[in-house]
Amino acid sequence: MTDTILAIIGGTGLTSLKGLEISRREVMHTPYGEPSGPLTHGILAGREVVFLARHGYSHTIPPHQVNYRANVWALKHAGVSAVVAVAAVGGITAEMRPRRLVFPNQIIDYTWSRAHTFFNKDLTHVVHVDFTEPYDADLRRKLIEAARTIKIDAVEQGTYGATQGPRLETAAEIDRLERDGCDLVGMTGMPEAVLARELELPYATCAVVANWAAGRGEGVITMDEVRENLDAAMANVRRVLEATIKAL
């Protein structure tokens, strides 16, 4: 991954990137509509990066209304060569406790009605992309090695269950997800990952456990709890991102 320009997609809790020396903001117009906001170009850890807040810079776009196609298309056409997606998730299995970072290696898609492919019209032939391993192995390894180097207590694999949102899941739904093999639950993992694959953009996720999933903790899930856990974990996210950038 020589001369890689890394794109960072920030999720809930990461609407700006501390330490980024901003050089310019780029407004992109795409064949699929408007992205979540301008692309922020800058320098982080001595390397060029591009940052985009998935839910908008004011965090106003819910998961089911994110224009995933426009976001991924814009990053590709801005010249980035790899994408790290930061995502807040709920922890299902025991080791996925709040505030831990997780680098999932698999995903199960439970979303519906989202524009989920670039290959749906004006085709000269039917296109199928391999999605056996949904996250780029090399980029995942860079994230894992970065976390090890700086001694972050991260989980190095897991299955992400992508749900529709914006509501949180029921306890019975979380039980079903666990039976299906999911370790984490979130609302933005798909179709973002497969759209990146369709455009041949290496893509990996740095998930941040914001809370126990429904029925796994005590009482109801509150947004105060989510915000508190994300605020505590984001310093580690930034450290991992910086260490990963240095290794590219």
Tokens, residue 27: 């407004």
**Sign of the alpha-carbon torsion through 221, 11, 61, 186:** negative
| Cα–Cα distance, 12 to 59 (Å, whole number) | 7
Q: Is 167 annotated as a binding residue?
A: no
Q: Is 94 annotated as a binding residue?
A: no
Q: Is 125 annotated as a binding residue?
A: no
Q: Is 1 annotated as a binding residue?
A: no
Q: Is 12 annotated as a binding residue?
A: yes
> In whole angstroms, what separates CA 64 from the centre of its chain?
14
| Cα–Cα distance, 144 to 179 (Å, whole number) | 27
Secondary element (H or E) of residue 143:
helix 137-149
Owner of token pair 């990461």: 14
Q: Is 73 annotated as a binding residue?
A: no
Q: Is 213 annotated as a binding residue?
A: yes
Report which of 204, 217, 159 is spatially closest to residue 186, judged by C-alpha positions: 159
Let me know: does 199 contact 127? Beta carbons within 8 Å. no
Alpha-helix residue ranges (DSSP H) falling in 1-98? 68-77
| Cα–Cα distance, 196 to 226 (Å, whole number) | 28
| Cα–Cα distance, 27 to 31 (Å, whole number) | 14
| Cα–Cα distance, 13 to 86 (Å, whole number) | 9
- Cα 161 to Cα 121, 182, 207: the distances in Å are 28, 6, 12
Q: Is 211 annotated as a binding residue?
A: yes
Task: Enumerate the known binding-site residues for substrate.
Answer: 187, 211-213
Task: Enumerate the known binding-site residues for phosphate.
Answer: 12, 54-55, 188
Task: Enumerate the known binding-site residues.
Answer: 12, 54-55, 187-188, 211-213
